[in-house]
Amino acid sequence: MKTWLRDLPKVELHLHIEGSLEPELMFTLAERNGVSLPYATVDEARAAYDFKDLQSFLDLYYQGMGVLHTEQDFFDLAMDYFSRAAAEGVVHVELSFDPQAHMSRGVALSVPFAGLERAMREAENRWDMTSALIMSFLRDRSADEAMAVLEQAAPYHAQIAAVGLDSAELGNPPSKFAAVFERAKALGLPRVAHAGEEGPATYILEALDVLDVCRIDHGVACLQDEALVARLRDVQMPLTVCPLSNVRLKVVETMTAHPLPAMLDKGLKVTINSDDPAYFGGGVLDNFIACADAFDWDRETFKALAANAIDVAFMPEPRRAELQQRLASG
């Protein structure tokens, strides 16, 4: 099953590129840029990745990305992830990044855009891996700041597939960003948002009704509200679920307790993703394998999940048709 899952053409829709920073590269970049780390060794860093909730993870995630300074750093970060993803059978990835977390450290907005864009082109040339970029806003910072970043990013709007919303969810409802997302919509930019990870089902409703998103990141809290589940099913709203992340951040107790099987039974448009692979115990293949171990799903179930991701990805139609064909004939 593991070899078969590796060879399955997989599309990853929910991946924070800063969350793919492995400790080995963190140490390399720290040395390159003269940044001091709170860990003496790679093993010590990994040992610190023991989280009690989303915030305890975010604290280390923002600290870790402090080693990223130059365009080359962002290029190296993305290439490190792409090379691992290629070996895992990932054929298309939608990577999000957090510009505010870099700008607040004095890194110009142009720097991540240039480095990530160069790596995306290189990944396509090297591995035929296509990709799309999602520019995410930090929901625990002000809406005014997000609006300013959206405007400042005007030269790059053609480079992004969508805008997103992430970081600390509780107390930062989607409605806080109504004006920002309205502006993004007016600019013709598709919208996605984290909702219902640690936050309640009402945040998912707000993401739909106020932000007019075309995808919900996580969304596992939808099961608290049967009417919402019916709505998500009826419109086949894509949910980018990240099972290993949910276990590591104590959103669920164990993999076997994860609501993914219930979500599938209810007819929801579910996809499987890694979120922050360097921090949560592996990439998208590891997430598929963890599901195989926990749920005893057959190949058709995994194929349906992989097909869901291809269906809703930001990609040109010929590429979508090619990947669906590859999946069907595998």
Which residues are annotated as catalytic? 197
Distance CA 97, CA 103 (A): 12
Site string for ligand ADE, 252-291 (x = CB under 6 A): -----------------------xx---------------
As measured in angstroms, the least distance from the Cβ of 291 to Zn ion is 18
Q: Verify binding: residue 80, ligand ADE, rule CB under 6 A.
A: no
Where in 34-93 is the site for Zn ion (CB under 5 A)? Answer: none
Q: Verify binding: residue 94, Zn ion, rule CB under 5 A.
A: no
Side chain identity, residue 285: L
Q: Which of 29, 54, 207, 211 binds ligand ADE (CB under 6 A)?
A: 54
Side chain identity, residue 86: A
Site string for ligand ADE, 17-36 (x = CB under 6 A): --x-----------------
Q: Verify binding: residue 94, ligand ADE, rule CB under 6 A.
A: no
Q: Are 133 and 112 in contact (CB under 8 A)?
A: no
Where in 165-194 is the site for Zn ion (CB under 5 A)? Answer: none
Tell me which residue has its CB nearest to Zn ion.
Answer: 275
Residue 274 interaction partner, one of ligand ADE, Zn ion, none, beta carbon < 5-8 Å per kind: none
* Nearest to Zn ion of 65, 327 (CB atom): 65
Residue 197 interaction partner, one of ligand ADE, Zn ion, none, beta carbon < 5-8 Å per kind: ligand ADE
Q: Are 295 and 262 in contact (CB under 8 A)?
A: no
As measured in angstroms, the least distance from the Cβ of 323 to ligand ADE is 26
Where in 128-187 is the site for ligand ADE (CB under 6 A)? Answer: 166-167
As measured in angstroms, the least distance from the Cβ of 175 to ligand ADE is 17
Distance CA 13, CA 310 (A): 9
User: What single-letter DSSP state applies at residue 49?
Assistant: -
Q: Verify binding: residue 275, Zn ion, rule CB under 5 A.
A: yes
The string of DSSP codes covering 269-283 is: EEEE--BSHHHHT--
Spatial CB neighbours of 221, under 8 Å, sequence gap ≥ 6: 195, 196, 197, 199, 200, 201, 203, 204
Pairing verdict, β 269-272 and 238-241? parallel
Where in 187-246 is the site for ligand ADE (CB under 6 A)? Answer: 194, 197, 245
Give 50: exposed, middle or buried? Use CB within 10 Å, 0-12, 13-18, 19+: exposed
Other CB atoms within 10 A of residue 234 CB: 9
Q: Which stretch binds Zn ion (CB under 5 A): 113-121, 152-160, 225-233, 267-275?
A: 267-275
Q: Which two tokens stand for residue 188?
A: 């013709």
As measured in angstroms, the least distance from the Cβ of 322 to ligand ADE is 30
Sheet holding 238-241, edge to edge: 192-195, 215-218, 238-241, 269-272
Other CB atoms within 10 A of residue 88 CB: 22
Q: Verify binding: residue 98, Zn ion, rule CB under 5 A.
A: no
Q: What are the residues binding ligand ADE (CB under 6 A)?
A: 16, 19, 54, 61, 166-167, 194, 197, 245, 275-276
| Interface residue list for Zn ion (CB under 5 A) | 275
